[in-house]
Amino acid sequence: MLTPVLIAVVVLSVVVVFIWTYGTTHSRMWSAQLIEEPAVSGPMAAACDDLRRSLAHVAPPLSDHPAHVVASMAAQDAAVATMIARDREIGQETLAGDPPALDWLADWEALLRARHEAERTLLGSQGDRQVTVVLPTVDGYPITGRMADALPACAVPRALLELPRPRE
């Protein structure tokens, strides 16, 4: 016969095993890998500040025409590529000394690939505004979240996650 104490112990054991299994499986969400090395995080944060300033100066598209939207996106992409190149100038050895930095840079490159795919789709869509930037995920976690976790001073600007719109 099952006693209330035995039932409580079994239920508690199942809950603990579930939490432990979920936590170890999804630890990337719970314990972010920070870019901590000052020789890496400092220059990356500075390059990110420059990216935000550059994005603020990108002209919006002249119209909703796909070619105009893609041209605006291409200017944004160039600013991101400049940031990535600047970050890579830190040096492979230095970056490898802070492993999340390599993942962070790979995530920016994946974001650029996703944007390029959206640009290609938009050009072939006859102006369908339903085209979106499809964000890649790692272990079910959007790369933008992982990127913000790794370097909180450099969350992905919202302008890079949406299609640019013309001024009204």
Predicted pLDDT of residue 24: 47
The pTM (predicted TM-score) of the whole model is: 0.79
Query: Which residues of the chain have a pLDDT value below 50?
Result: 24-31
Predicted pLDDT of residue 129: 62
How buried is residue 143: exposed, middle or buried, by Cβ count under 10 Å (0-12/13-18/19+)?
buried
Predicted pLDDT of residue 131: 85
Predicted pLDDT of residue 5: 62
Predicted pLDDT of residue 17: 53
Whose structure tokens read 């969400």?
29
Tell me if 115 sits within 8 A of 136, measured CB to CB: no
Tell me if 45 sits within 8 A of 98, measured CB to CB: no
Structural domain boundaries in the chain: 1-31, 33-160
Predicted pLDDT of residue 113: 97
Specify the length of the chain in residues.
168
Tell me if 108 sits within 8 A of 139, measured CB to CB: no
DSSP state letter for 137: E
Predicted pLDDT of residue 15: 55
Instruction: Count the neighbouring beta carbons within 10 Å of the beta carbon of residue 96.
Output: 11
How far is Cα 124 from Cα 14, in angstroms, rounded to an integer? 52
Give one DSSP letter per residue of 26-66, joined into a string: THHHHS------HHHHHHHHHHHHHHHHHHHTSPPPSSS-H
